[in-house]
Amino acid sequence: MSELLDLAGIFVFALSGALMGVRKRLDVVGMGVLAEITALGGGVVRDLILNVRPIAFQSLGYVLVPVAATVIVFFWHPHVARVMPAILVLDAAGLGLFCAVGTEKAMEYGLSPLHATLLGVTTAVGGGMLRDVLAGEIPTLLYDRQLYAVPALLGSGVMAGLSSYGLHGWPATLAAALLAFGLRIAAMRRKWRAPLAKGIGE
């Protein structure tokens, strides 16, 4: 079940990476690279920090799902773009899932709650940051004006806290993921923004 949820999150993130490739007028190879990086980058960075073999290199599905997303966007990107609001909702779900799962894995490998929280955020937003760098964009993480990293930080913090008190498994993961998901959705609908430095206008 957890692998299916992982693959669903990877698929949604890969769609956003491939769509970035379309907007940047990249060919199918460039689209595929952005899809793979967006979907797998955060998890690979997390596993390398934990000094374990990245799960993306243990299961063929983790590589093939972004390829499938690339093919879909390559042939039907106008249709995919039209359902972008729904994709953003799924992206928020993937954000919540990945920050919770990443934090729990870090805790299992003996990291402190603070470090596990940071690694959970890395799992959730790392792929998008690498995508933006490769596409020549300022990473969203550096100007979190739409509250993307903040929900991941909150969800990761809650997951680390629950794990510290011995609460593991899918109930804890679901609670932390739903918290991050709910905050991200609320931020999108209510147009919440992170504050700028004093004296700087919008």
Summarised one tens digit per residue, pLDDT across range 179-199 is 999 999 999 888 888 887 777
What are the residues whose beta carbons fall under 8 Å from the beta carbon of 21, sequence distance 6 or more?
30, 31, 32, 33, 34, 35, 70, 73, 135
E runs forming strands in the chain: none
**CA 87 → CA 19, 83, 147, 202, distances in Å?**
11, 6, 17, 27
CA 177-178-180 angle, to 5 degrees, is 65
pTM: 0.88
User: pLDDT by residue (tens digit) across 152-170?
Assistant: 999 999 999 999 998 888 8
